[in-house]
Amino acid sequence: MGIAEKITSIRDTFHLNNFSFSKRIGVTGTTIDSIINGRPQKDGTRKRTKPGYDVLKAIIDEFDINPEYLFGKSDLMLKTAPPKIQTYSGVPQVISVNSSGNENVIYVPIQARAGYLSGYGDTNYIEQLPSFNMPHLNNGTFRCFEVQGNSMVRTFFDGDLVFGKFIENLSEIKDGRVYIIVSKNDGIVLKRVINRIEERGKLILKSDNKDGNYPTYTINVEEIMEVWYVTMFASKQMPEPVDVYDRLHDLESKIVELQEQINHNN
């Protein structure tokens, strides 16, 4: 194989496209495309660009590539065995149904969060969690999580209940929406999400609380165990009462001023 084919093989081994591959090694998508596919020529042919030293070094460092593989002296691509990459299952590991065969909403209170990380795929564990049926939550699998902390204050408060619909495909995650992310390292978090899985293999997680204590951060796709799209919530935080009389007085004064202006013009 030539150098272009070897780079293509490396790209495919890590399940990337040209654009996401280029982002991993810090070059433009055009650079990788010209190496793998070639630049179009006036006669209709395509001429491949030879990768420079910086590109080759970036590939070797980023993907732990055996340099001798790139230069045709070895068939062994990787210096070490590739890490096992978790793929998102696309279905909840365990669901609960009622006597009518309809899915229940499983409730995960704060005190059950730690156990949920290891038991989310354990039927016996899930069956021990509270569950209930909500007729208007249908066309999907739903789970209810109790909010912990103040990272989403302005939108959700500590102790609120958020209802999430299971996301079957990570490409369905829409920028700026709120999701419950269950992951190996961060546990259960409620965040506003920016989806950069296709380009960088990551989600960007943001907090609505802007007091500076909750910085934006990223999470790798292989760490994600479950994603739930928040469709509804219940809160103990009641809105402040509206002073109806003040609004009426304000409206009355505006009517009087308008009447005086009309009389003056006449």
Residues 106-125 pLDDT 10s: 999 999 888 888 777 777 88
* Average pLDDT over the chain, rounded to an integer: 87
My answer on whether 48 and 127 are in the same domain is: no
Residues 154-208 pLDDT 10s: 899 999 999 999 999 999 999 999 999 998 888 899 999 999 998 888 999 999 9
13 in a domain, yes or no? yes
With H, G, I as helix, E, B as strand and everything else as coil, classify residue 120: coil
Q: Which long-range contacts (CB under 8 A, 24 or more apart) does 172-177 make?
A: 172/229, 173/197, 173/203, 173/227, 173/229, 177/229, 177/230
User: How much is the pLDDT for 86?
Assistant: 57
Residues 209-264 pLDDT 10s: 988 889 999 999 988 999 999 999 999 887 666 565 566 667 777 787 788 788 77
d(CA 91, CA 222): 16
- What CATH number is associated with residue 163? 2.10.109.10
My answer on whether 115 and 226 are in the same domain is: yes
Instruction: Please give the residue range of the domain that contains residue 57.
Output: 3-70
Amino acid at 34: S
Look at residue 6 and tell me whether its pLDDT is greater than 60. yes
- What CATH number is associated with residue 26? 1.10.260.40
My answer on whether 156 and 201 are in the same domain is: yes
110 in a domain, yes or no? yes
